[in-house]
Each structure stands twice: as C-alpha cells, then as structure tokens.
Structure 1
Amino acid sequence: MEIIAGIDVGGTFTDVLLYHAVSGELRLAKVFSTPGAQADGLLTGLRQFEVPLAELDAVVHGTTVATNAVLERKGSRTALVTTRGFRDVLELRRRDRPTTYGLTGTYRPLVPRSLSFEVDERVDAQGNVVEPLSPATVEAVAAKLRESEVESVAICLISSHANADHERSLAHELRRLLPGVEVTASFEVCPEPGEFERAATTAANAFVRAPMSRYLGAVQERLGEQGFAKDVQVMQSSGGLIPARRGGELAVRTLLSGPAAGTVAAAAFGAAAGLPDVISCDMGGTSFDVALIPGGRPAVTAESALDYGVPIKVPMIDITTIGAGGGSLASVDRAGILQVGPESAGSDPGPACYGRGGTRPTVTDANIVLGRISADQRLGTQDGFRLDREAAVEAIRAHVAGPLGLDVTAAALAIIRFANEKMANAIRMVSVDKGHDPREFALVGFGGAGPMHVAELARAVGATTVLVPPHPGALSAYGCLIADVKYDYVTAVGTDVGECTPAVVERILADQAELGRKTLESDGFTGPDVVVEHIAEMSFSKQLYSIRVPLGSERDGWTSARLAEEFSREYLAIYNGRNPSGAIRLISLRTVVTGKRKPVKQVTAVSAERAPAGERTVVFSDGTHTVPVLRRESLRSGETLRGPLIVEQSDTTIVLPPATSAAVHENGSLIVKVAS
C-alpha cells in the first residue's frame, strides 16, 4: 500500500495529512508548531497516525525555516566576496525607499559591509576577461574570511552571468581553503543579469543555507532513525518539489515553501469545481498569503522581494503576504487608533483564549467573543487543548474595549473589521493593481482562520463566489501531497533577438532539457513522467523589466521572427495596449523540467469527531443571530446550506454570514454564493 505524508509547518500549527493511495483514505493531524525545533512538531503529528514510518513511501514537507531566517535576520554569519570596487553592492541597492515619500528606512542587508571582501579580477558584459583572477588575492581573502569566523560565503563577481569561469575557480578554491564553511556562487543559484538582484539572491541563499541544511538534515535523520529510508521532499517557492539533499544547497528556492503549497492545492480544487480563475486566500495563525490564479495556473514571477531591500531573483509563485492571521495582536496606539498586526502571538504563548500564557487580544480572541468559534470546540488534534472564552473577553476588555470606550462585543467586531479590510486590500493588490477584476474570480479560503473570514472578504472586494476545500486548515499540507518534482534552469543570453540564431537557441534549450532529464532520472522519473517546458525572458530594448514568454516543449525552429511574434503576443496579452517600437531583447532562456508524481484523489479528511448538530448565538455586522452549527462530516454531496450558519471541523471553522448560501461539491468542497 502506498502511503504519503504531506506536512506543512506554520507559525502556529503544524499540519500533517496521511494519504493511503489504495483506499483513498486521508487522515489529518494538526498539532502546535515548536519554534526553534520544528522537527519536533512534525514528528508529533506523524506519531498520531500510529503508522510505522518504515511504511511511508514519501514524506513531502513545506517549511518556513528559510523565510523566518531572512525576516528575523537569524541566518548564518555570512560574508560576500565580489570584484574589487563593488563591495557596496548590497548597500547601494536600487536607491529606492520603503515608502514613496518617506525620509527614513529600516533597511539592513543580510551581509554587513564589514564582511564584504574584494578580489582582483574583471569580466566585461560580453563575458570577455579584462583582468584574470589573482591567486594572491584569493589566498588573502580566504585568510580574512577565516579570521572573521564566517559560517557561509556568497560569491558574486561582476558579469559572471556572461562568463562564470572566475566565479567557478574562486568557489573551488574557497571550498578547499575553508573546510566546513558553506560556499554559494551566483552562477549556481542565479546566473542572470542584474548585479544587485543577483548579489542579493546569492547572499540570501548563503545566509539561509546552513540553517536549512541543518534542519532538513535533522528531519531526514530523525525520520531515518524510525525507519523511513527515502529522501524527504521539500516544496519550492515555484510550486514544485526538490529532494531534501538538494534543498539545503538551493535554500533560497524554498523561501515561500508553505504558501506555495497552498496555492498549488487551491488551483487544483478550483479547477475541480469548474472555477479556473481563483484567488487563493490563506489565513493562518501568523500571516495572510494571497495569490492570483488565472486560468488554473498560479501566476509566477521571476523576482520577488521577501523583505524591503532583499529581492529574490528565482522563479516563485507570485504571493503577497501581510501580517494578518488568527494570532495577529490587536492594540490601541498612542493616537488612540486601533491596530491589528503585523505582530503575532504565534503558537507560544498564542492568543489569550489558548490558555498558554498569552494575555494580549488577537483576531482569534475576537472570533471566540463573537461566537464564531465555540469555547467548547476543539481546535486541532492535540490532546488537552481547549479554548478559554473568559480569557479572550478579559484581553479585549483590557487592551481594546477600555482604551476605546467600547463594550467588548463592539471592540471584537472592530478587530474583525480592521483585519478584514487589511486582507481585502491585499486581494486588491494582486488583482486590481495588476489589471484583473476580483469580481470575476472566486476566492479560495483556507488556512486555520481563512474559512471564518473569506465570505466577508468576498463581499468587501465584490466577489460573488467562494470555495472552501474539504480540509482548508491543512490545505498547504495537501498541496505537498499533489505537487510534482520540478527543476528550473536558466542561461543568460543578453542580445537582440535578430542576433540570436535558431541554432544557438536550440543548443541552449537542449542542454538545459538534458540536464533536467538526467537529474530527474536520479530521482526515479523516466519516460512519460518527465515534462519539459521552455520559456524566454524578453523585453524591449532599454526596458528595465522583462516578461516570460512561453515556448512550449519545442526547442528548434525559433527564428528571430518567430520569437518576436511570440513576444508581441504575450506583451499585448499582459498590457492590453499598442506595442512600443524598438528592438526586442532576448534576456535569457529558461527550461522547467517536471517529474509527474502519481495523482492524489480529492477526498475529505477522516475525523473521529462526529458531534451532533446544534446551535449558538453569533454576532455579525448586522446584529446577533441564533445560527445552526453543523459538523463538516455530516454534509452530503449536493446538499444546499443557507447562512447564517457555522460549520465546524477539526482543522477550522467555516462561517457563512447572512445572505450567503453554499452547495456541497462531490469532492466535499463548499461552493459559497455571496450576495453583493
């Protein structure tokens, strides 16, 4: 029997789904995350199934280790080595500001200037060697790195995307001279033009490489001690998987690991319900992650800023993240204005109602005060965890209601409205700001807190359809179950389209495809399980940003006229306007090679809890209602529900406000209609 475990480690909870391929059974465990020791929560969840780990055929993991290391600046002690005269590349960045009219900023590079070192060498933009790499400066830099006691080194030499020979030699020598120090070269992670973006991406990889390698190594070792003999698979930011043995070396590709998994699953459930155009809305305990999924395929960007001044130039699902989760703290600032987030209570101590030592109010506390979550309800599958409504009431009274002169119920409603407006603005950022009308999309609500808010978010942005998957609180773990293994290769070209012959394009694409096939073969994928897709990064001459032009699986016959035609078609589709005149540049060629895994059936997670239906008092914006409370397991395909209504399950609570209705899809999803 093939058994697969999908695991998502979030800021508050760790979600584990166990899928039995033969029976189609899906089992859920939801336990507290263990900050600083994420492997502990992962193993706690797996142990709840009482299935020997030796019987597992695959363990697929989404993690926030790399993300947290960058955001909290808790990575390795990292140095940057670059060409003489360019040690300030990370400080100079693009001279932008965090706010357009702001006069100050809080930018702090991952590598301080004191740990930036230079070597004598120079390659020009065409890849010609202007000055050879000096062996003497390599020795001198190695001595300085040793003296500085660095744990990791990022190498980014000028124009190495055009000729990586110097960078390759330097990396080889530093690895020889500095045993035990992690070395990352830009040609290995980001062989593309754009000096600052390439340096920032390489520095980020070096910064998180050691902690990610240690973490994945610990997970692999601890699972191995209990009988699991295969490679752990890790979710990448692009929505594809990579073996843990490579995940440490390419840690920068896992920065949006967990959110990417949820987006992959949201696209799958949207397509199954006949809703190809969806917006994924993942509200967990710490953050709200939103992504546009037009035509059933998550939008992918070649560059994204994880934090101000830290652009990451690797393929990533285009996800916008804000600090608005169930654990987001509510407070009143010195001006007497309510604030919600971005600070979060996390899992320790957690919201006040968790009874784990938290005393400050959160969005979850507001939901329990309003009756949207029951004090008797069990959240997750961890033993001994119950909610404390009185603690939530007292926290809101002391920190919000009292300072604002409101009663506790009005203060709780204000917290919910504030959080909802922040999340609605994030939805507008990924849709309206990019030329898409959110009214034409369905919202997919998931995460532990998402289904409580998604119907109200739809009303706020004008959407009329909402989809709630059958296991929304663990949808990112489900995304890990269904994702394919994926590798991405890029080669800088940097010429006008007219100067690039079909033979050159074919050679580059063929080399990339062959490398990808060999890598997938070592992972166990062959024949029809391997899918190849080519992409060209192109722009008009002197334009700063390029666009991705799909080339399909064909690698030959790409004449300059054909490339220009495909670029013009894609440009028109994106910008809906007349094409600018001027030469067209072929910036780079990219190949994505995918190893297709066996499909997973869309089934409802099994739960031991089957409590009878009941009712309770719930407060909405239009007043107080006595509403039915149903268990998710009691719903049947084709059934119609009408709000106001509460649906409970072990991983979340679904809130259907007044003027909504829902139909139960055959795979267990709820398709909610929201009156405008």
Structure 2
Amino acid sequence: MEIVAGIDVGGTFTDVLLHHTGTGELRLAKVFSTPGRQADGLLTGLAQFDVPFADLDAVVHGTTVATNAVLERKGSRTALVTTRGFRDVLELRRRDRPTTYGLTGTYRPLVPRSLSFEVDERIDARGDVLTPLSSDSVAQVAAALRESGAESVAVCLLNSYVNDDHERTLAHELRRLLPGVEVTASYQVCPEPGEFERATTTAVNAFVRAPMSRYLDAVQDQLAEQGFARDVQVMQSNGGLIPARRGGELAVRTLLSGPAAGTVAAAAFGEAAGLQDVISCDMGGTSFDVALIPDGQPAVTAETTIDYGVPIKTPMIDITTIGAGGGSIASVDRAGILQVGPESAGSDPGPACYGRGGNRPTVTDANIVLGRIAAEQQLGTQDGFSLDREAAIEAIRTHVAEPLGLDVTAAALAIVRFANEKMANAIRMVSVDKGHDPREFALVGFGGAGPMHVAELASAVGATTVLVPPHPGALSAYGCLIADVKYDYVTAVGSDVDETTPGDVERVLSDQAELGRKTLEADGYGDQDIAVEHIAEMSFSKQLYSIRVPLGAERDGWTPARLAEEFQREYGAIYHGRNPSGTIRLISLRTVVTVKREPVEQLATATAEHPPNGERTVVFADGPHTAPVLRREALTPGQTLHGPLIVEQRDTTIVLPPATSATVHENGSLIVKVTS
C-alpha cells in the first residue's frame, strides 16, 4: 500500500491530502500558511496525520513561492547580460500601457538598468556569426558583475534561439569566473523568437531561482530529517510534475504551480461527472483563479503575463488570476465608491472574524454576517481556531456601512455582490473574450471560498450547471495527487512550411523525445511508462500570434502539405470562419513527454457519526431565508437537495441559493442545477 501526500501552500491556508492507495482513504489537514516560512505550514499539516514520514511514498507540492517573489519583487539581486546595444530590452518592453488610455504606468523591471551589461558579439537571424564572442569583453563583464554584487545572472543574447553557441560559451565562462553566482541562459528556459519575451522569461527564472531553490531544499531537508527518503515532486505551471531538484533550476516553470494543480483536478472531476466542457473557478483566501477546460483538457498557452510588463514564454495552463478571495479587503474610496480587493488580509492577520488582529472587513467577514458561514463551525484543522462574528460586524460597520449610509447586512450583501461581479468578469475573460459561450460550460467551484459563491457566479454568466468536488477547499492538493510527470521541449524553426522537409521535422522531434526519455529515466521511470506528444506552433505569415497544432506521437512523414492541412483544420476549428490564404509559417516544434501516475479512485465516503442537521437564517439578494444546514459527510450518492441550503465541511462551506437543486454524484461531487 502506497501513501501519497498532495500539498498546496496558498496565501491563507496550507492544504494537505493524504491518500492511502490500498484503502482509497483520503485524509485532510488544513492549517494556516506561515508567510516567509512556508515550509512550516507544510510540515504542520503533515504532522497532523500521525504517519511516520519514512512511510510516505511520495510528497507532491504546489507552491506560490516563485509567484510571490515576482509580485513582491523579493527575489535575488539579478543582473542581465546581453548583446552590445540591447541592454535596454527589459525597459523598452513592447511600449504598452497598463490602461489603454492611461499616460503613466508603474512598471518596475526585475533587473534595473544599472545591472544590465553588454558583451561584444552578434549572431544574425539566420544563425550566422557576424561578430565573434570577445573573450576580453566576457572578462570585463564578469569583473563588473562581481563588483555589482549580483547574486544571479540572466544571459540572453540576440538570436541565441537559432544559434546558441555564444550563449553557451558565455554562460559557461560566467559560471567559472563567478563561483557561487547562479547563471540562467535563455537557451535553457526559452529557446524561442521574441527578444523581449525571451529576455524577461530568462530574467524571471534568474530572479526566483535562488529563493525557490532555498525553499525546496528546506522542504526536502526537513522531510529527510524526519525519515522521508525520496525526492519531493513539484507541480509545474503546465500541469505536470518535476523533482524538486529541478524545480529550483527551472523555477520559472512553477509560477502557476498551485492554480495549475487545481485546474488538473477540476478537469478530472468534470470528466468523472460526464461534463467535458467546464470552467475551473478557484476562490481561495487571496485570489480567484479561473481557467477554461474545453473537451476535458485545460487550455494551454505558450505565453502569459504574471505582472504588468513581465510576460512569461513557457508552456502553462491558461489561467486568469484576479485579486478576489475570501480575504480580499473591502473599503470605500475617496469618491465614496465601494471597492473589494485586490489587497488581501492573508493569513496574518487575516479577516476580522479570524480573531488574529485584523480589523478591516473582507469577503469572509461579509459571508459570516450574512449567515453563509456560522461562527461556531470549524474551518480547517488548525488547533484553537474559531470565528468571531461580532468582530466581522464591527469591521463592516466601521469601514463600509457607515461611510455608505447602509445597515451592516446591506453593506455585507454589497461586498459579496461586488466580489461576485469581479469574478464573473474574469469568467467572461476566459470564455466570451476567447469565443466561447459560458452557458455551454459547467462551473467547477473550489478553493476555501469558491463553493460559497460559485452558484451565484453561474447565474451571473448564464451557466446552468455547477460542480462542487468532494474536497473543494483542498482541490489543488488533490490535483497534486493525480498529476502526471511532464517535461516540455521546444525548438525554434522560423521558416515557411514550404521550405521544411520531413527529415528536418523528424530530426527535431526525435531529438526532443530522446532528451525527454533520458531525463525521465534519470528520474527513475522506465521507458515503458513514457508517452510522447508532438506539437507544431504555426501561423499565417505576418500574423503576430501562433496556434498549437497537435501532431500526435508521430514524428515522421510530416510533409509541407500534411503540416499545412493540419494547420488549416486547427485554424478553422478555433476561429470558425473562412481561413485566410497566404504563406504558412512553422514557428517552432514542441514535444511533451509524460509519465502517467497511478490514478486516485474517486469514491464517496460517509462517516457513521456526524452532527445532526440544523438550520439558520441566511441572507440572499432577495432577502433572508431560513436554510437547512447539512454536513457533507452525511450526504449519500443519488440524494437530491434543494436550495436555499447550506452544506458544511471542514475545508469549506457550500451555499445553494434559492431556485437551485443538487444531486450527489457517486464520487461525492455535488452536481448543482442553477436557474439563470
């Protein structure tokens, strides 16, 4: 029997799920995250199970360490080394603006211009050497870096994606001349066209590499001290796992680690319920993460923006994040207008009702005032944690109700409705804005606060079906349990399809697949476990954006005509219109190598003993209702529920508004029907 731990460290809570493969039992721990010491919360959660760490067969971890380091600008002191004449690449960006009609911005580059250095070299767009790499220039830059006190260096030379000889040599020399300084080269993390995007991706990896490595090393060491003898696995932004020892080196690939795990789990529960088209809605303590999952597969993007002016060009699940969580702070601005978020109370001090020193109202405080959360119910498994309803009332009265001239209940309802509209807009961004009708999708509500809001979000966007998984407050931890091991490889091509040959395509795909196999075998996986998928990034000539064209597992026989046919088919499926004519470009070739892990059996579990059912007054948009209160553990497969209704469990509270109904699925999920 294997024992596997899935762990998600969020901004407010750390969620741990322990799975016993022999019995199918899932055990939950939900404790406060420890800002600045995230490993502490992780170990506290694991310790609650009374299972010797030596008995754990795997520990799989989703983390926000890299994301927070970028957003808070708390990474390493990082320098950039690039081709002479291009030191301003991070400053110039794409000359965009944070708001369309704004004249100013607040952009702060990860690498200041004072830490940007140039070397003498030049390679043209065809990969031909115009100016050899100057050894004297390399030595001068190394001396300047040493004097600058740089802790990490990003190396990004012009056109290195087509010929990386100079960049390899430069990175090798800097590692030799600057012992103890981390060096990240763009050919390792982003060998693709797009000078600015390649530079900023490399800079982000260099910026977060040291803090991520320190954190993962601390987790690995502390677990090892208590008997755990295996590699910790880390969730990547692409929804796959890598060992912790690679997670630090490729830290940029973990930026959306936790949200990606939740999306993987949402897709799995959607498929189990026969819902192929779903939208994952993860509302935690600090943020709301939403992703489109058409045909059971999370949408993947080759580029996203983690912060204004900081695009990341690596494969990752296409997740949109806004500052709207249970801990989002409500306030009234100078114009007398209610605002909710993006600032969050986090876990310390947390919402006012947590009784940990916070006195500013949050969405969670509004929910407790409206009766959607009961003061006496247990949230999580943290010892000595209880809720203070009076503190929530006072915070809302002082900061929202009195400034707006409302009573406390009306102010709390306004906070919830404001937060819901922000989240509904995020759902429209990933669906309507990309040509999808949200009415044709089911919403999967999870996160500590998601099940309280997801039915109202469905009404707002016109969706009629909602799915709430069995452990919604810890679904990202569940995603860590079921995610596959995965590596992505990419090779830039940058030529017209008519100019490619089947031999060239086969050579690139074969090299990438072989590299993936060797890497996975070094991680301890057998060749028989490995699956390979090839993808072509293609576009019409002069188009800015490319599309991903699946090539399956085949690596040979890709003639220009066959590539063009697959591109036309995929283009038509995406845009549903007449395909334009013109030259087709093959931008790059990708290969994804995957090892499937043992599935976690989805079965409903019910406890023999549970608190008796009750009822309480809950306020909705149409006024107060007396709503029955049930325990999730008491529900049985096939049971039908009708709103208004409250379902409580240790990791969250589920709210079924009036005019909704729900059926309990055989795996314990609630399938909710909403009248929009």
Helix, strand or coil for the counterpart of 1:403?
Answer: helix
What one-letter code is carried by the residue in structure 1 that aligns with 2:596? K
Once the two structures are TM-superposed, the CA of residue 527 in structure 1 deviates from its matched residue by 3.6
In 1: Cα distance, 2:422 partner to 2:513 partner: 43
Seen in structure 2, the aligned counterparts of structure 1 residues 609 and 112 have a Cα distance that, compared at 3 Å, is: farther
What is the CA deviation profile of residues 613-670 of structure 1, one whole-angstrom value per residue up to 9, with x for unaligned ones?
1111111111111111000000000000000000000000000000000000000000
* Aligned match of 1:156: 156
Which one is further off, 541-550 or 29-38? 541-550
What is the CA deviation profile of residues 5-53 of structure 1, one whole-angstrom value per residue up to 9, with x for unaligned ones?
0000000000000000000000000000000000000000000000000
What one-letter code is carried by the residue in structure 2 that aligns with 1:179? P
Once the two structures are TM-superposed, the CA of residue 428 in structure 1 deviates from its matched residue by 0.3
What one-letter code is carried by the residue in structure 2 that aligns with 1:504? D
Contact 1:26–1:603 (Cα < 8 Å) also in 2: no
Helix, strand or coil for the counterpart of 1:79?
Answer: strand
Percent sequence identity over matched residues? Answer: 85
Matched, 1:306 2:306: yes
Seen in structure 2, the aligned counterparts of structure 1 residues 608 and 34 have a Cα distance that, compared at 3 Å, is: farther
Helix, strand or coil for the counterpart of 1:292?
Answer: strand
Contact 2:353–2:391 (Cα < 8 Å) also in 1: yes
Seen in structure 2, the aligned counterparts of structure 1 residues 249 and 609 have a Cα distance that, compared at 3 Å, is: farther
Once the two structures are TM-superposed, the CA of residue 269 in structure 1 deviates from its matched residue by 0.1
Contact 2:606–2:635 (Cα < 8 Å) also in 1: no
In 2: Cα distance, 1:100 partner to 1:442 partner: 32
What is the CA deviation profile of residues 203-256 of structure 1, one whole-angstrom value per residue up to 9, with x for unaligned ones?
000000000000000000000000001000000000000100000000000000
Helix, strand or coil for the counterpart of 2:266?
Answer: helix
* Aligned match of 1:202: 202
Matched, 1:340 2:335: no
In 1: Cα distance, 2:523 partner to 2:278 partner: 32
Once the two structures are TM-superposed, the CA of residue 526 in structure 1 deviates from its matched residue by 1.9
Contact 1:367–1:416 (Cα < 8 Å) also in 2: yes
Contact 1:27–1:607 (Cα < 8 Å) also in 2: no
Once the two structures are TM-superposed, the CA of residue 392 in structure 1 deviates from its matched residue by 0.1
Matched, 1:273 2:261: no
* Aligned match of 1:77: 77
Once the two structures are TM-superposed, the CA of residue 524 in structure 1 deviates from its matched residue by 2.1
* Aligned match of 1:674: 674
* Aligned match of 1:403: 403
Once the two structures are TM-superposed, the CA of residue 607 in structure 1 deviates from its matched residue by 7.5
What one-letter code is carried by the residue in structure 2 that aligns with 1:239? G
Alignment of 1:98-497 (within 5 A): 98-497=98-497
In 2: Cα distance, 1:129 partner to 1:489 partner: 25
Structure 2, unmatched stretches of 5+, are none
What is the CA deviation profile of residues 124-161 of structure 1, one whole-angstrom value per residue up to 9, with x for unaligned ones?
00101111100001000000000000110000000000
In 1: Cα distance, 2:298 partner to 2:33 partner: 28
What one-letter code is carried by the residue in structure 1 that aligns with 2:131? E
**Across the two proteins, how many residue pairs are aligned to each other?**
676
RMSD: 0.9
Contact 1:287–1:322 (Cα < 8 Å) also in 2: yes
* Aligned match of 2:575: 575
Helix, strand or coil for the counterpart of 2:506?
Answer: helix
Once the two structures are TM-superposed, the CA of residue 606 in structure 1 deviates from its matched residue by 7.7
* Aligned match of 1:522: 522
What is the CA deviation profile of residues 527-570 of structure 1, one whole-angstrom value per residue up to 9, with x for unaligned ones?
44211000001111111111110000000000000000001111
Contact 2:484–2:596 (Cα < 8 Å) also in 1: yes
What is the CA deviation profile of residues 328-387 of structure 1, one whole-angstrom value per residue up to 9, with x for unaligned ones?
000000000000000000000000000000000000000000000000011000110000
In 1: Cα distance, 2:608 partner to 2:386 partner: 17
In 2: Cα distance, 1:606 partner to 1:32 partner: 26
In 2: Cα distance, 1:94 partner to 1:204 partner: 17
Contact 1:220–1:231 (Cα < 8 Å) also in 2: yes
What is the CA deviation profile of residues 275-307 of structure 1, one whole-angstrom value per residue up to 9, with x for unaligned ones?
010000000000000000000000000000011
Could you tell me the TM-score, scaled by structure 2's length? 0.99
In 2: Cα distance, 1:257 partner to 1:612 partner: 39
Contact 2:445–2:454 (Cα < 8 Å) also in 1: yes
In 2: Cα distance, 1:637 partner to 1:114 partner: 63
In 1: Cα distance, 2:431 partner to 2:603 partner: 30
What one-letter code is carried by the residue in structure 1 that aligns with 2:345? A
* Aligned match of 1:31: 31
Once the two structures are TM-superposed, the CA of residue 575 in structure 1 deviates from its matched residue by 1.1
What one-letter code is carried by the residue in structure 2 that aligns with 1:29? A
Structure 1, unmatched stretches of 5+, are none
Helix, strand or coil for the counterpart of 1:86?
Answer: coil
In 2: Cα distance, 1:573 partner to 1:282 partner: 28
What one-letter code is carried by the residue in structure 1 that aligns with 2:325? G
In 2: Cα distance, 1:299 partner to 1:110 partner: 28
Contact 1:25–1:603 (Cα < 8 Å) also in 2: no
What one-letter code is carried by the residue in structure 1 that aligns with 2:10? G
Contact 1:617–1:627 (Cα < 8 Å) also in 2: yes
Helix, strand or coil for the counterpart of 1:69?
Answer: helix
Once the two structures are TM-superposed, the CA of residue 79 in structure 1 deviates from its matched residue by 0.1
Alignment of 1:533-572 (within 5 A): 533-572=533-572
What one-letter code is carried by the residue in structure 1 that aligns with 2:499? E
What one-letter code is carried by the residue in structure 2 that aligns with 1:593? V
Once the two structures are TM-superposed, the CA of residue 525 in structure 1 deviates from its matched residue by 1.9
Once the two structures are TM-superposed, the CA of residue 523 in structure 1 deviates from its matched residue by 1.7
In 2: Cα distance, 1:404 partner to 1:162 partner: 60
Helix, strand or coil for the counterpart of 1:67?
Answer: helix
In 1: Cα distance, 2:46 partner to 2:526 partner: 30
Matched, 1:653 2:653: yes
Which one is further off, 603-612 or 646-655? 603-612
Contact 1:205–1:250 (Cα < 8 Å) also in 2: yes
Alignment of 1:32-71 (within 5 A): 32-71=32-71
* Aligned match of 1:665: 665
Could you tell me the TM-score, scaled by structure 1's length? 0.99
In 1: Cα distance, 2:191 partner to 2:347 partner: 39
Which one is further off, 656-665 or 526-535? 526-535
In 1: Cα distance, 2:84 partner to 2:343 partner: 41
Contact 1:27–1:606 (Cα < 8 Å) also in 2: no
* Aligned match of 1:93: 93
Contact 2:204–2:252 (Cα < 8 Å) also in 1: yes
Contact 1:471–1:604 (Cα < 8 Å) also in 2: no
In 1: Cα distance, 2:608 partner to 2:182 partner: 47
Helix, strand or coil for the counterpart of 2:86?
Answer: coil
Seen in structure 2, the aligned counterparts of structure 1 residues 609 and 5 have a Cα distance that, compared at 3 Å, is: farther
In 2: Cα distance, 1:607 partner to 1:186 partner: 53
Which one is further off, 195-204 or 97-106? 97-106
In 2: Cα distance, 1:281 partner to 1:34 partner: 24
Contact 2:81–2:118 (Cα < 8 Å) also in 1: yes
Helix, strand or coil for the counterpart of 2:222?
Answer: helix
Helix, strand or coil for the counterpart of 1:109?
Answer: coil
Seen in structure 2, the aligned counterparts of structure 1 residues 230 and 332 have a Cα distance that, compared at 3 Å, is: same
Once the two structures are TM-superposed, the CA of residue 608 in structure 1 deviates from its matched residue by 9.8
Contact 1:352–1:392 (Cα < 8 Å) also in 2: yes
What one-letter code is carried by the residue in structure 2 that aligns with 1:235? M
What one-letter code is carried by the residue in structure 1 that aligns with 2:383? D
Helix, strand or coil for the counterpart of 2:551?
Answer: strand
Helix, strand or coil for the counterpart of 1:627?
Answer: strand
In 2: Cα distance, 1:383 partner to 1:500 partner: 63
Once the two structures are TM-superposed, the CA of residue 440 in structure 1 deviates from its matched residue by 0.3
Helix, strand or coil for the counterpart of 2:425?
Answer: helix
Contact 1:471–1:605 (Cα < 8 Å) also in 2: no
